[in-house]
Structure 1
């Protein structure tokens, strides 16, 4: 028995952004590895790439991800 069933038909109102086809789709038409979502509306799905870019920028500039206290100015670790 399979642990996960593959849904072949999307639920009404589920919107995805397909990374492969670069378009908004209703329901999971493409594999999960190729899509962002679900979103509540096609307009939200249309902005999926913008939202991902904004979040990536926030994470790259988040000081919690860059622990500079463990290295000195030369880049060597201190004991």
Structure 2
């Protein structure tokens, strides 16, 4: 086990949103598992949770990501009552 943890070094102008501390970071400061980003601006990083909610809603309502047959069609096993 190493004596010192390797610190993640970010680039100036890259912005992140830390999920653990609920704060905007330029850098990043926190580990990748705890953050969203990089974003191109502080404002964009500040909207990270809203952006995630919007993307989740798009995914949840996108018919291409669900195994729902087209309207009027039923899976083979359901045609004859089960």
- TM class by shorter chain equals 0.7 to 0.9
Normalising by structure 2, what TM-score? 0.74
Q: Is the 8 A contact 2:12 2:27 kept in 1?
A: yes
* Partner SS for 1:69: coil
Residues 1:40 and 2:40 are matched in the alignment:
yes
- 1:7 touches 1:28 (CA, 8 Å); kept in 2? no
Please provide the CA RMSD for this pair: 2.0
The answer to whether 1:31 aligns with 2:46 is: no
**Using the alignment, how far apart are the partners of 1:45 and 1:19 within structure 2?**
11
TM-superposed deviation, 1:57: 0.2
Gaps of 5+ in 1: 1-5
d(CA) in 1 for partners of 2:15, 2:61: 30
Matched-pair contact (CA < 8 Å) for 1:20–1:34? yes
Deviations 1:7-29, CA, capped at 9 Å, x for gaps = 53321101000000001001021
Please state whether the residue corresponding to 2:8 is helix, strand or coil.
coil
Does 2:22 align with 1:14?
no
Q: Structure 1 stretch 51-60 or stretch 62-71: which is displaced more?
A: 62-71
2: distance between equivalents of 1:37 and 1:18?
A: 9
